[in-house]
Amino acid sequence: MRVCRSLLFAASAACSLLLAAGVGAASVTVQTEAGALRLTEVAQGLEHPWSLAFLPDGRMLVTEREGRLRVVTAAGALSQPLGGVPRVHAVGQGGLLDVVLSPDYATDQRIYFSFAQPTDKGARTAVARARLNLEALKLEDVQVIFTQRDDPSGGGHFGSRLVFARDGNLFVTLGDRYNHRDRAQDLGSHLGKVVRIRPDGGVPADNPFVRRAGALPEIWTYGHRNVQGAALNPATGVLWTHEHGPQGGDELNISRGGRNYGWPDITFGREYVTGFRIGEGTARADVEAPVKQWTPSIAPSGMAFYTGDAVPSWKGNVFVGALKYQMLVRLVLDGDKVVREERLLADQGKRIRDVRQGPDGRLWLLDDTDGRILRLDPL
């Protein structure tokens, strides 16, 4: 059975190579400030894809929010769902979420993934690691290494991006779970935080709140609403994040350890129903100001710093997917300042859930609208 399954997957991949060569591949020309590019559909048939990670052999791991993890070839062939994935709380924004490779994947074959873990009371964001058995298409030795202390009911605001720092520690972004926003300011709660843990789930000794009474030692930063984009700045190695505001107030932030990012006391956002202002204002001396804020909201998700050669003029830029406005946002930086924004693909009707730079130096996108993997190619 295992041999048959492998042969079928290999045959499917071989057939899909024709698409990669341009035979029947769906593509459209898009205009950008860098010139005309081709938006190519690499794969389809996914259901709410949430995250993409590249394997050393050019294949990809893709999560589907409903709880499936698949291997996808560079030509777009989808594997069957992998075995061994834990049960997830696939309600609202919850489910199987981010996936990243271990920094030592070449020797340990480990992956890390985040998911909404069901509990008796509701659900919580959890992080697990596992060994990836590609031949058997399954996860082995699955270990949950972190769980949020809070597990309220509902399906909103799980956050859930994973980023390995240069020192090997792991950043995890955690949402405020929507109805519990005041706990984003509570250092005794994991809600509305970015945490920093060791690869085994332990607490680094130099975390900012390790020695503060009443504070959870995993916390790196606090005062967040729902962080669904995170990436290391390749020039500095510092974590950048972005988060959803309510009506207005989506934020791009530099995540400096120990800092308060304001939510819900300091925000540009307003209440959904009434339009009333939230909190006490848009700035305060003890709160980190965003590098950029979007009002009206674009609903940002996924983020990547571009370092590739496919589009040389993009080097050093930040790319952010947008769900509500169905576009890809390019941000030009001058140091830690955003000096210009270009809005791409706004006429394509794609809810961009994730943005990754591939090993080929191109940008790869997950489209939540139609369950597709897309790639931006130079002409």
Residues marked active site are found at 157
Residues 78 and 63: beta-carbon distance below 8 Å: no
In the block, tokens 């520690």 appear at 169
Residue 133: Cβ-neighbour burial (10 angstroms; 0-12, 13-18, 19+): middle
Q: Beta strands of 109-179 (E only): which ranges?
A: 110-118, 123-133, 138-147, 162-164, 170-174
Tokens of 198: 């060791």
Residue 74's CB is within 10 A of a number of other CB atoms, namely: 23
Q: How far apart are CA 20 and CA 49, in angstroms?
A: 21
Closest of 213, 208, 155, 148 to residue 184, by C-alpha: 148
Amino acid code (one letter) for 302 = G
Distance of CA 299 to the CA centre of its chain: 13
CA distances in angstroms from 315 to 50, 73, 277, 307, 340, listed in the order given: 25, 26, 38, 5, 14
Distance between CA atoms of 237 and 359, rounded to whole angstroms?
19
**Residues contacting 158, CB < 8 A, separation 6+:** 93, 94, 97, 114, 116, 123, 125, 174, 175, 177, 226
Q: Which helix (H) or strand (E) holds 50?
A: strand 49-54
Give the number of C-alpha atoms closer than 13 A to the C-alpha of residue 186, restricted to the C-beta side. 11
Q: Is the peptide bond before 264 cis (omega within 30 degrees of 0)?
A: yes
